[in-house]
């Protein structure tokens, strides 16, 4: 059960290190008024984050404006890959605003031209066209439409899209149906009957099957056929490089079998890089780990490290198909300037390589932690600067959502801000620019908090 974070200021111990500072009760009493107002005016769906007021954020730190400073392990939610408020991004935003162009629909602009040119320069050469949007969900919706439209060109019934159980592709009606989380989908009622889900090949599922990963793919796709799906009608597959809640990657052999099957059956593959893209996994894009060539790539979040912008890119003959695919704020000039600056920083500061190198240290630290608490830390998954630590109730396989909620709350009181997955995992996604000693310090805080919680519970 998830914990409700109330707004009573908690007493804290004074902490001051190079990376964090806690000098008042948390949340600070003066910030509570703001949080209360938000709770008054907004729906509950906006209020389950840790009650830290974000007054400013710089690089890997968040400040509440009352003297407290937190190490950020979230990048808000995988957005600020190059660090919060990078001076080059701020400058680009200011420049755009100063010249008096803050929106221009999809009329031509220098800002959009410069950005899309750069975007296509840094992405694989076989992907040669893009469409800009504002949110990640719009890009997965767009890829859904494009995969179907292409399928229909081959055969009127080739409209089926395959996705994966447990996946996440957004919260709009289409993207939510593509996603593989049944909870919260009841409201849709008229589900698209031509979206199918394959089981995600977790290590546990693979072990239980007794098959090799490539055999598992072929078996599961055949199961869909045995249940009545005409495989000739599959138009596309959509997948994330890793499943967000648990940083779970696919086995290579599974991807090899899937891409081979897709090629043989004229099935397009969309990679949803909205979360994984722009260095998060230690490569520029997550799909590079698999040596595959997707037909369509969805991008968002860290594309700008700041303002809302998203994009799909793909092969021209596939995505240059529907003249209606544009939107009011897609390619906003200020967001394009910020995104161009962000891409340049990502490359100039070698942040992808930094993500890879720091990731190795992070993984080592987390595996050490797991070895100290094997009864409750059941698994660690990590690549680059995304990682997940799985907590279970002792002696069971049941995820301990409550323990993780307590742990991240306690860590907040000691100056560490965490992603709240509500899935029994601690998920780590700091800005790629975080100094390694700050990252290790934050993990030490988690360790300290776990010991304290276990002592309090007398376990």
Return d(Cα 119, Cα 340) in angstroms, integer: 8
DSSP string, 64-109: -SSS-EEEESSHHHHT-TT-BT-HHHHHHHHHHHHTT-S--TTS--
Q: Which range in 64-72, 111-119, 167-175, 201-209 contacts ligand PLP by CB under 6 A?
A: 167-175
Judged by beta carbon, residue 64 or residue 240, the one nearer ligand PLP is 240
Q: How many residues bind ligand PLP (CB under 6 A)?
A: 13
Show the CA angle centred on residue 242, arms to residues 240 and 244, nearest 5°. 95
Q: Which of residues 273-312 bind ligand PLP (CB under 6 A)?
A: 274-275, 300
Q: How far is the CB of 139 from ligand PLP (least distance, A)?
A: 7
- Yes or no: say if 273 and 241 are a contact pair by the CB < 8 Å rule: yes
Q: Which of residues 239-258 bind ligand PLP (CB under 6 A)?
A: 240, 244
Q: Is 201 in the site for ligand PLP (CB under 6 A)?
A: no
Residues whose CB falls within 8 Å of the CB of residue 89, separated by 6 or more in sequence, listed in order: 82, 304, 305, 306, 338, 341, 342, 345
Q: Tell which one of 27, 170, 201, 333 touches ligand PLP (CB under 6 A).
A: 170
Exposure letters 305-335 (e unless 16+ CB within 10 A, then b): bbbbbbbbbbbeebbeeeeebebebbbbbbb
- What does DSSP say about strands 416-417 and 69-72: parallel, antiparallel, or unpaired? parallel
Q: Which range in 136-144, 183-191, 214-222, 319-327 contacts ligand PLP by CB under 6 A?
A: 136-144
Contact track, ligand PLP, 211-240, x by CB under 6 A:
-----------------------------x
Quote helix, strand, coil % in the chain, to nearest 5. 45, 15, 40
Q: How far is the CB of 1 from ligand PLP (least distance, A)?
A: 23
Judged by beta carbon, residue 272 or residue 441, the one nearer ligand PLP is 272
Q: Is 135 in the site for ligand PLP (CB under 6 A)?
A: yes
Return d(Cα 306, Cα 78) in angstroms, integer: 10
Q: Tell which one of 61, 68, 140, 430 touches ligand PLP (CB under 6 A).
A: 140
| Ramachandran sector of residue 235 (left: φ over 0; alpha: ψ -120 to 50; beta: rest) | alpha
Q: How far is the CB of 135 from ligand PLP (least distance, A)?
A: 4
Q: Is 136 in the site for ligand PLP (CB under 6 A)?
A: yes
**Closest residue by Cα to residue 185 from 198, 194, 172:** 172
Exposure letters 81-120 (e unless 16+ CB within 10 A, then b): bbbbebebbeebbeebeeeeeeeeeeeebebbeebbebbb
Judged by beta carbon, residue 75 or residue 275, the one nearer ligand PLP is 275
Q: Which of residues 74-133 bind ligand PLP (CB under 6 A)?
A: none
Return d(Cα 276, Cα 301) in angstroms, integer: 9
Judged by beta carbon, residue 109 or residue 135, the one nearer ligand PLP is 135
- What does DSSP say about strands 160-164 and 234-239: parallel, antiparallel, or unpaired? parallel
Q: Is 141 in the site for ligand PLP (CB under 6 A)?
A: no
Judged by beta carbon, residue 275 or residue 425, the one nearer ligand PLP is 275
Judged by beta carbon, residue 277 or residue 415, the one nearer ligand PLP is 277
Q: How far is the CB of 300 from ligand PLP (least distance, A)?
A: 5
- Yes or no: say if 319 and 146 are a contact pair by the CB < 8 Å rule: yes
Q: Is 169 in the site for ligand PLP (CB under 6 A)?
A: yes
Return d(Cα 236, Cα 261) in angstroms, integer: 11
Q: Tell which one of 64, 72, 111, 272 touches ligand PLP (CB under 6 A).
A: 272
Judged by beta carbon, residue 77 or residue 392, the one nearer ligand PLP is 77
Which residue matches tokens 């010249």? 99
Q: How far is the CB of 167 from ligand PLP (least distance, A)?
A: 8
Q: Which range in 80-88, 144-152, 188-196, 268-276 contacts ligand PLP by CB under 6 A?
A: 268-276
Q: Tell which one of 168, 250, 254, 409 touches ligand PLP (CB under 6 A).
A: 168
- Footprint of ligand PLP on this chain (CB under 6 A)? 135-137, 140, 168-170, 240, 244, 272, 274-275, 300
């Amino acid at each position: 059960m998830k914990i409700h974070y109330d707004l009573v200021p908690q007493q804290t111990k004074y902490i001051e290190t190079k990376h964090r500072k806690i000098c008042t009760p948390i949340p600070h009493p003066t910030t509570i008024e703001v949080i209360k107002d938000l709770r008054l005016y907004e729906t509950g769906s906006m209020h389950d984050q840790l009650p830290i007021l974000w007054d400013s954020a710089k690089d890997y730190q968040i400040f509440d404006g009352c003297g407290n400073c937190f190490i950020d392990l979230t990048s808000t939610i995988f957005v600020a890959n190059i660090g919060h408020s990078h001076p080059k991004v701020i400058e680009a935003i200011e420049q755009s605003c100063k010249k008096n162009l803050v929106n221009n629909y999809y009329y031509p602009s220098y800002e959009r031209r410069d950005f899309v040119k750069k975007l296509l320069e840094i992405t694989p050469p076989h992907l040669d066209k893009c469409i800009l949007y504002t949110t990640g969900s719009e890009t997965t919706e767009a890829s859904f439409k494009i995969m179907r439209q292409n399928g229909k060109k081959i055969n009127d019934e080739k409209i089926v899209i395959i996705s994966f159980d447990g996946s996440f592709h957004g919260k709009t009606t289409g993207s939510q149906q593509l996603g593989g989380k049944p909870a919260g989908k009841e409201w849709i009622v008229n589900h698209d009957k031509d979206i199918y889900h394959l089981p995600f090949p977790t290590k546990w599922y693979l072990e239980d099957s007794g098959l090799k990963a490539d055999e598992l793919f072929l078996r599961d796709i055949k199961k869909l056929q045995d249940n009545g799906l005409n495989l000739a009608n599959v138009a596309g597959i959509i997948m994330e490089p890793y499943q967000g809640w648990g940083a779970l990657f696919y086995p290579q052999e599974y991807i090899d079998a899937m891409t081979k099957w897709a090629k043989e059956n004229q099935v397009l593959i969309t990679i949803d890089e909205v979360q994984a893209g722009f260095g998060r996994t230690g490569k520029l894009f997550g799909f590079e780990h698999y040596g595959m060539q997707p037909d369509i790539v969805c991008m968002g979040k860290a594309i700008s490290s700041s303002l809302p912008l998203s994009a799909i890119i793909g092969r021209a003959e596939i995505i240059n198909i529907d003249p209606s695919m544009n939107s009011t704020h897609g390619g906003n000039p200020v967001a394009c300037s910020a995104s161009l600056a962000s891409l340049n920083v990502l490359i100039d500061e070698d942040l992808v390589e930094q993500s890879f190198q720091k990731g190795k240290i992070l993984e080592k630290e987390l595996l050490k932690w797991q070895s100290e608490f094997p009864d409750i830390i059941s698994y660690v998954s990590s690549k680059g600067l995304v990682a997940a630590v799985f907590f279970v109730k002792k002696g069971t396989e049941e995820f301990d959502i409550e323990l993780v909620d307590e742990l991240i709350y306690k860590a907040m009181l000691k100056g560490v801000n965490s992603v709240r997955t509500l899935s029994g995992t601690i998920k780590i996604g700091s800005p790629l620019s975080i100094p390694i000693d700050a990252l290790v310090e934050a993990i030490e805080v988690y360790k300290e908090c776990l010991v304290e919680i276990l002592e309090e519970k007398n376990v």
